[in-house]
Each structure stands twice: as C-alpha cells, then as structure tokens.
C-alpha cells in the first residue's frame, strides 16, 4: 500500500468514526418507556450541575459541522460569552475569517465580512440558518442549562433517564447515574431557533462539569450544528462584547 492509499484509508476511517458518533448521538433516547418517578424531585434537580452563581463568563474555540438538507460545511469558531451576551467569530476550512455574530438573547447581529454587510434579526421567530442558529443562543447558558423546580410540571423516569416536563412544554432528559443533562427537546410549537439540543462527552475542569460535544437541531428537525469544544477558559475577564463595524457597512433589519 503506497502513501496515497494509506492517507485515503485513514481519512475514510476517520470519517466513518465521525458518522458513527453522529448516528449514535441521535439515537440516545431509544429507551422511552417512561413512568412517574419515585425519586425526590428537589434532590434530583439539586444534583444536576448548575453554575448560575459561580460561572459568569467563558471563552474558547471549537470545530463545528453545520448540516442542512443538501449541504454540509465545516467551520472553526471562537467565542466569548457572559450571562448577557455571546460573541462568535467564524473561520472557514481555509482559515479565512468570514464574520462575527453577536447576540443579547433578543436580537442577533450578523456581520458578513465576505459580502460586506451587517444584519440584525430577532432571535425568536426568525428563520435562522447555518451557524446563525448556534450564535443566536447564549453559549454560556447552553453550556450550563439551568432548571428550576417550580418550572417542572411532570417528573418521569425510565431505566436510564429522568424526564422533566416543564410548564413551557420543554422536556429535559437527565442521566440517572451522572445527573448530567442528556437532551433538551422543545415542543413543535416553539418559536425558539432550535428544536433539540444533545449533550455528550462531559468532563470536569476546575470543579465544573461541562459538555465537550453539543448538537443543536433546527426547528425543521433536519438541520443540525454539531459543535466540539477544543479549548475552554472559565470565568475569564472579557473585553466588551461588541462588533466594531466599519463606517461603510450598512445594517439591514430582518
């Protein structure tokens, strides 16, 4: 086998592994035989990692695979987030910086450096595509999703998972052993920019247990952003989270 064949072999093997990981991720909830839980709801929620008070900012980077019907794109993202805002910078596979995205939870400002324009859209109810769906969410809040007991309407369990049905219609699935969040599923009527979030590869860092892999599915349930974190700094001191637009860049609304 020559060098070219070796490289092709490893490339195909790596791609096959990635596909297998993606497929297994989407099949996490095969055990859907849920029944009313006999566990204590308050104690269960208290065991789920919640760093609302202790984790106020994050900064890092990751690799993302953005999949839509008929299109797949790989990008690198750099992000900085506090509890109010998230700023994401995107680079394509060639290392070319394509733009920046800033959200405050209500609106998303998209700066396209390639086509030289900026657009501001509402987060809820907007038709967001590609990486915009990830950037429209507060990354710190997504990394550490908080649950309040008073928001829970029904508490169920299966052999491996707890299911919390919230008053909003949201379903939160929690691993019964680790008490980490497995999935968040929104009702079909949601006006949020995602229908489901999957979490995996939890690791502990400086006393915080956080996921390293996050998959965000669009409202159409066919598009997906699969993010793998490659670097993460906790509670860094962040500069102002803003996008400095050149004077000649127009801002379009919607």
- Give the alpha-carbon dihedral of 70, 228, 102, 125, to 10 degrees: 50
Among the residue ranges 2-16, 34-48, 96-110, 194-208, the one predicted with the least confidence is: 2-16
CA distances to 100, 111, 207 from 253, in Å: 16, 12, 42
- Which has the higher per-residue pLDDT, 208 or 129? 208
Does residue 138 register a pLDDT over 60? yes
- Which has the higher per-residue pLDDT, 112 or 174? 174
- Which has the higher per-residue pLDDT, 217 or 130? 217
Give dist(CA 225, CA 215) in Å, integer: 6
Among the residue ranges 47-56, 91-100, 133-142, 143-152, the one predicted with the least confidence is: 91-100
Q: Do residues 164 and 155 make contact, with C-beta atoms less than 8 angstroms apart?
A: yes
Counting Cβ atoms within 10 Å, is residue 103 exposed (0-12), middle (13-18) or buried (19+)? buried
Give dist(CA 67, CA 74) in Å, integer: 9
CB count within 10 Å of CB 128 equals 22
Tokens found for residue 228: 């793998």
Q: What is the pTM of this model?
A: 0.81
Quick one: pLDDT at residue 95? Answer: 56
What percent of the chain stands above pLDDT 70? Answer: 81
Mean pLDDT across the stretch 92-118?
Answer: 81
Quick one: pLDDT at residue 194? Answer: 85
CA distances to 43, 161, 181 from 47, in Å: 6, 14, 11
Quick one: pLDDT at residue 7? Answer: 35
Mean pLDDT across the stretch 123-129?
Answer: 64
Give dist(CA 89, CA 98) in Å, integer: 8
Does residue 15 register a pLDDT over 70? no
Mean pLDDT across the stretch 125-139?
Answer: 69
Mean pLDDT across the stretch 183-192?
Answer: 88
Mean pLDDT across the stretch 196-209?
Answer: 94
Does residue 130 register a pLDDT over 70? no
- Of the pLDDT bands very low, low, confident and very high (cuts 50, 70, 90), residue 129 is low
Mean pLDDT across the stretch 136-145?
Answer: 90
- Of the pLDDT bands very low, low, confident and very high (cuts 50, 70, 90), residue 203 is very high
> pLDDT for 33-92, tens place per residue?
899 999 999 999 999 999 999 999 999 999 999 888 888 888 899 999 999 999 999 887
- Residue 188: CB partners within 8 Å, gap ≥ 6? 195
| 215: Cα separation from own chain's centroid | 6
Mean pLDDT across the stretch 130-156?
Answer: 87
């Amino acid at each position: 086998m020559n060098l070219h064949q070796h490289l092709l072999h490893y490339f195909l093997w790596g791609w096959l592994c990635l596909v297998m990981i993606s497929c297994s991720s989407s099949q996490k909830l095969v055990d859907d035989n849920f029944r009313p839980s006999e566990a204590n709801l308050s104690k269960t929620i208290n065991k789920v990692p919640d760093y609302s008070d202790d984790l106020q900012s994050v900064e890092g980077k990751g690799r993302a695979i953005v999949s839509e019907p008929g299109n797949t794109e790989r990008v690198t993202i750099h992000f900085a987030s506090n509890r109010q805002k998230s700023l994401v910078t995107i680079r394509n596979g060639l290392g070319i910086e394509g733009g920046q995205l800033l959200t405050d939870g209500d609106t998303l400002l998209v700066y396209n450096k390639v086509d030289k324009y900026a657009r501001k859209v509402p987060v809820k109810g907007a038709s967001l595509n590609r990486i915009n769906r990830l950037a429209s969410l507060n990354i710190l809040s997504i990394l550490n999703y908080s649950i309040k007991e008073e928001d829970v309407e029904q508490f169920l369990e299966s052999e491996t998972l707890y299911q919390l049905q919230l008053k909003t219609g949201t379903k939160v699935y929690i691993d019964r052993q680790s008490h980490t969040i497995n999935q968040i599923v929104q009702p079909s009527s949601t006006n949020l920019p995602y229908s489901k979030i999957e979490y995996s590869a939890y690791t502990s860092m400086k006393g915080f247990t956080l996921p390293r892999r996050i998959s965000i599915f669009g409202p159409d349930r066919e598009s997906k952003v699969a993010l793998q974190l490659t670097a993460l700094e906790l509670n860094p001191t962040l500069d102002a989270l803003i996008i400095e637009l050149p004077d000649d860049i127009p801002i379009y609304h919607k």
